[in-house]
Structure formats: C-alpha cells, structure tokens
C-alpha cells in the first residue's frame, strides 16, 4: 500500500521526536524516535499511560536488562496509542472537523487519494467509504534511531557486563523485542559488532512472502559507504531496505563532514547506480540466506532511497523526487517549530523562531568530539557558564549516556562532566602556560556541554514533567535551515508549505545546494586558517582531495542549473550568480593552500 506522504520527519536530538509518532502517525506521517535515553522514555511512558488510562508498572534499574525492557515497553505503548488514534480517525470518517478531514486537507490538491475520497463521499455510500479507508489509508511508520557510536560499556557491582548489555546493543534488543513493524535507522557510521548482533533477531529476516517486519535503514553520506555497508549486512542475510542520504554539514545534530563531496553529485551517483547496487547486494543476500536455511525471497527485495538536510521549499522537495528519483524527503529542523509534530518547550520555540544565520553555528560542545550544530544562547550553555563562574565547571553527569573518555580513568567518563574537567583543569594549571595560551586551552575544556541531558530536557518541560535530576537547561541542535523559518506553525501550515500551498520561508534563503556549498566553503576555510606555519604532508593530501571534490561539485552545479528551466522560486540567474561567488571564494582558499605548500617547500630547502 502506497504511503500517503512524500516526506518524513527524521530523528532530532534525543527528546524532540521522542513521541512524534503519537502526534503524527495517524496522519500517515513517518517519524523517528531516538533510543538513547531510556530514563526519559520511562518518564514519558508513565505520563502517557496515565493520560490514556493504560496500566503502568515501573521498570526499575534493579531489574535485569532494564534498559532493553524500558525501550520495548515504551515502543509498545507508542504503537498502541498510535493504532488507537488511527482507528479513531477511520471510525469517524463522516464527521466534520475530524482527523480524517485534517489529513485530507494536508494532502496535495492533486492527490489521487484526496480526489477519490471526495468522489465517494458525494455518493454517500457508507460501505464504499469503509472499504476505501481500509484499502487506501496507512499510518505513518514508527521508526527508531540508534547512533552506533553510543555503545557505552556497562557495569554491575563493579564488574563489566557482557557486550550485549552495552547501550546500543541493549537499545537494538529493546526494539527487536517490540511489537513494531517499522525501520531501524542506524547512524554515525558502521559498527561491525553491532551490525553482527542484528543476526540474532528473526524480525530482521524476510518471511515466506519476502516481507520484513523490522527493516534496516542506514544513514549514509556517499555511495561507496552504502555499497560497503549493504554488502557487509547482506553477507549476514540482512537486507538494507533504505539508504537515508544526509548532508554532512547542512543538517541538525552531529555533523559528519564529507571530504568535499556535496549532496547533488552524491544523489546523482545513487541515481545512476541504484539498480546495480540492488543487484549486487541482493545476490550476496540470497546466498547468505540459503546458507542459513532462511526464507529466500523469490524476487529482488525493494530498496528505497531517501534524502535529508536543509530542504526548505516545495520546489526543492519536488526536484529531489523528480530529478533524482528520491522516494521520500526528510524535513527536520522546521518541524521543531511545530508542537503538533515534535516536542519542544515554548521558550526554545521562541529562540528558534527568532534565530538568524549568525545564531546558528557548528560548535565543539559535543563530548563525542564530533562537530555539533547548535544555537547560540541556548539555556544549557547559559547554565554551563554559570557553573564555570561559580568555580564548578562541568556537569554532575546524571545520565552518563555519552561517556567515552579514558584519559584519566579506567572506566570511561564524559568530557563534559565535572569529574573530568576538574582533573583536566588541574593538569592544565600545572603547566604554567602563558596567560593567552592557558585561556585558549581552558576555554576548550569548559566548552563541552552535557547534551545527553540537554537534548531531552525540552520534552520534559513541554510536558510539565519533573526536571529535578536534569535541571532546566535545554540543548537544541537545529540545522542551519531553521534560520529561514520565523514563527511557530501548526501541522497543517507546515505540511501545506511542503506541498506548495503556501510559502513561509524568509525571502533571503539560498537554494539548498548553494547553502550546503557555502557551509562547506566556510568549513574548509576555517581548517586552512588554523594552519599557523607549516603544512604537513597529511594536511596537504587532505586539502588537495577536499578541494578537488569541491571543485568537481561546483562544476556539477554549474552544469546542472545551466541546463534547467526557471522552475525554482530562485531564478536561474540568481543561482548561477551565487555559484560564481562561491567559485571566487574557493579560488581564494586554493591560493592560500598553494602559498602554504610553497612555504613548506622553502622550509624543506632550508
């Protein structure tokens, strides 16, 4: 059965989409729940069970495998509520001002489903309407996300637990044991041991009809990565049902910069090689399933390609679908301004609505050591600096979800924690560095923020739940695209914007490809500016490859937009002019790299 919508809501932070399926699944909208914070899930499960009069039994940390069991229970509850709301939508089909009417109004005016319902309703054939609803409407998928890097080891009574009790492994088990029929979105790179663990759960294998109850979706940044990971999983009898292509920098949350390869050329490569990808991976899958005595599908399994990162107009949305054959487009950050779809506290909504380009920046606040998109003046950073001013830098680390550093301890601790920063600052003071150098290193230490708590607190505030343990500081991780949306929106408004019924973006917004191009230019410019004296061989190789890819992407865009008609709200002349400006910026960076290389040669000659 075809999906109702051509967009989906990706995972955002830890708490912003934690209960999005409860809000939007009955409207046929797919969304993704983060499985990072089982403590947050347990709090929300209690709240929702009370709201919907469902039985609730607390899952204590004293219970064996409590993390996996909490996740399973939360997902089952979300699934049950979403199904009830979808059943209610179908039952009240003929009433005015119902969710079905709201759903139909959201759909594009040319929607076949929308037109069909209007025709049926005119004839007032109740039986036909019932059959139509049964055969035409589907709820949105309740997908989940596991960030593969967040696979912390866990202990009990001082003893390290087996690997299956690591955070990501337990989250995977929690999802695998749930009632859901949906997709597991794996992000942050390949994890062989976690991928291998998937083999233990039957729901990830095709049944006798070739159907997979729990599908695998991989978030990737290039075709080569997709091919490698797809084949790796296929050798285990596991099919990747979706490759979710995300911009490296024009996105929210953690940013994994590519080596200068941009979205347009990446999408083109997927389009050109899609059938070859399916064929090569499927052949491996069939052999692996046969070797395992599992069900072997009689035909090639379906593969969908989706894209996300910075899309902001219906023209861009339609272009990705029409030109590249994308099956669904992810709309993330703008939905932070839609309380009917995501869970964002009112103060943060206002901050996001007021944010301009300069308020959004690629920060170093993440304890994982990965660049992190952030909003200046977020309340978690204010709270962090207050602790610094009081002489108590760092977080008390109440949840320990991002612990990864073993520089000073046998057990990993978090670089945003008070215990780590106290030791690190003491070490810094013992070096007696010049004041300027000392301050630079001190600021780098205290820059890290407790985002594992901050990214979930907004959900607690929005639902008026207790934040005694977490505090009220909110971390928020929007993509740069949020700068062009300036107000809180209803779900109908947002979806209407996606489908071209209205336009709610600021007029100064650049095309999505141009925006990403310029973000990458600024990124590499800063990298080059960090070089104070001598360019090493490693740096020279990195910059050479990066600039080669950037110039290839630039040429691709010149060729692409020169060949297109004026089908965007941005005229062709404006886009080509923007590209020319970007070309000039790249040339200046290339010149600086060349000068640094020459300087190096002079040093070698000396």
Q: Where in 97-213 does DSSP place strands (E)?
A: 142-147, 155-156, 159-160, 182-187
pLDDT, position 570: 67
pLDDT, position 115: 78
Read off the pTM.
Answer: 0.95
Distances (CA, A) of 299 to 235, 282, 285, 302: 18, 9, 12, 9
Q: How far apart are CA 485 and CA 64, in angstroms?
A: 46
Question: Given the DSSP bridges, would you call strands 240-246 and 159-160 parallel, antiparallel or unpaired?
Answer: unpaired
pLDDT, position 488: 98
Phi-psi region of 253 (alpha: psi -120 to 50; beta: other; left: phi over 0): left
Q: How far apart are CA 606 and CA 586, in angstroms?
A: 30
pLDDT along the chain (606 residues), means of 10: 90 98 98 98 98 98 97 98 94 76 87 77 66 84 97 94 98 98 97 98 97 98 96 98 97 95 98 97 98 96 97 95 97 98 98 97 96 97 96 95 94 96 97 96 97 97 95 97 98 97 92 97 95 85 96 97 73 90 96 82 43
**For the residues of 165-197, what is the DSSP string, one character each?**
GSHHHHHHHHHHTSS--EEEEEESS--HHHHHH
Contact 489, 27 (CB under 8 A): no
Per the listing, tokens 């990971």 go with 229
pLDDT, position 121: 63
Asked whether the CA dihedral 271, 275, 280, 284 is positive or negative, the reply is positive
Three-state DSSP state, 240: strand
pLDDT, position 123: 59
Q: How far apart are CA 30 and CA 4, in angstroms?
A: 10
Contacts of 503 (CB under 8 A, 6+ apart): 313, 314, 497, 569
pLDDT, position 96: 67
pLDDT, position 126: 65
């Amino acid at each position: 059965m075809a999906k109702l919508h051509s967009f989906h809501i990706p995972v955002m932070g830890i708490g912003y989409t934690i209960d999005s399926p409860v809000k939007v699944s009955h409207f046929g909208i797919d969304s993704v729940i983060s499985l990072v914070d089982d403590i947050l899930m347990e709090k929300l499960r209690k709240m929702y069970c009370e709201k919907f009069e469902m039985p609730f039994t607390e899952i204590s940390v004293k219970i064996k495998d409590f993390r996996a069991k909490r996740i399973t229970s939360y997902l089952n509850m979300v699934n049950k509520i979403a199904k009830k709301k979808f059943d209610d939508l179908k039952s009240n089909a003929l009433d005015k001002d119902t969710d079905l009417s709201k759903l139909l109004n959201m759909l594009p005016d040319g929607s076949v489903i929308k037109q069909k319902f209007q025709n049926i309703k005119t004839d007032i054939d109740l039986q036909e309407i019932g059959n139509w609803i049964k055969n035409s409407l589907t709820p949105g998928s309740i997908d989940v996300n596991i960030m593969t890097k967040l696979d912390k080891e866990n202990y009990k009574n001082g003893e390290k637990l087996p690997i299956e009790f690591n955070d990501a492994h337990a989250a995977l088990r929690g999802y695998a044991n749930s009632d859901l029929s949906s997709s597991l979105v794996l992000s942050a790179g390949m994890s062989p041991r976690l991928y291998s663990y998937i083999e233990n759960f039957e729901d990830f294998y095709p049944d006798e009809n070739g159907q997979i109850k729990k599908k695998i979706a991989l978030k990737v940044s290039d075709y080569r990565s997709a091919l490698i990971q797809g084949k790796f999983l296929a050798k285990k009898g596991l099919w990747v049902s979706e490759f979710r292509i995300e911009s490296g920098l024009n996105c929210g949350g953690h940013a994994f910069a590519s080596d200068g390869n941009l979205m347009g050329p990446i999408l083109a490569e997927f389009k050109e090689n899609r059938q070859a990808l399916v064929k090569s991976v499927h052949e491996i899958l069939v052999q692996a399933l046969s070797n395992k005595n599992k069900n072997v599908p009689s035909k090639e399994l379906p593969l969908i390609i989706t894209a996300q990162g910075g899309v902001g107009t219906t023209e861009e949305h339609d272009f990705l679908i029409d030109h590249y054959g994308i099956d669904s487009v992810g709309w993330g950050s703008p939905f932070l301004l839609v309380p009917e779809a995501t869970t964002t506290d009112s103060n943060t909504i206002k901050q996001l609505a007021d944010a301009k380009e300069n308020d959004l920046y690629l920060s170093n606040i993440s304890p994982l050591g990965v660049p992190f998109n952030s909003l200046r003046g977020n309340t978690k950073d204010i709270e962090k600096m207050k602790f610094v001013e009081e002489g108590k830098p760092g977080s008390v680390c109440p949840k320990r979800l991002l612990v990864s550093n073993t520089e000073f301890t046998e057990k990993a601790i978090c670089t945003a924690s008070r215990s780590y920063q106290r030791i690190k600052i003491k070490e810094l003071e013992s070096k007696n560095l010049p004041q300027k150098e000392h301050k630079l290193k001190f600021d780098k230490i205290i820059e890290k923020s407790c985002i594992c708590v901050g990214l979930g607190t907004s959900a607690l505030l929005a639902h008026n739940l207790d934040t005694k343990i977490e505090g009220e500081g909110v971390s928020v991780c929007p993509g740069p695209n949020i700068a062009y949306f300036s107000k809180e929106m209803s779900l109908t408004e947002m979806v209407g914007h996606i489908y071209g019924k209205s336009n709610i973006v600021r007029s100064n917004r650049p095309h999505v490809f141009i925006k990403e191009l310029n973000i990458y230019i600024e990124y590499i410019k800063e990298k080059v500016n960090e070089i104070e004296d001598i360019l090493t061989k490693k740096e020279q190789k990195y910059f050479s490859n990066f600039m080669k890819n950037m110039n290839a992407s630039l040429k691709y865009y010149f060729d692409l937009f020169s060949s297109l008609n004026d089908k965007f709200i941005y005229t062709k002349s404006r886009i080509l002019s923007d590209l020319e400006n970007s070309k000039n910026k790249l040339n200046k960076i290339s010149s600086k790299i060349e000068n640094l290389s020459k300087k190096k040669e002079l040093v070698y000659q000396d």
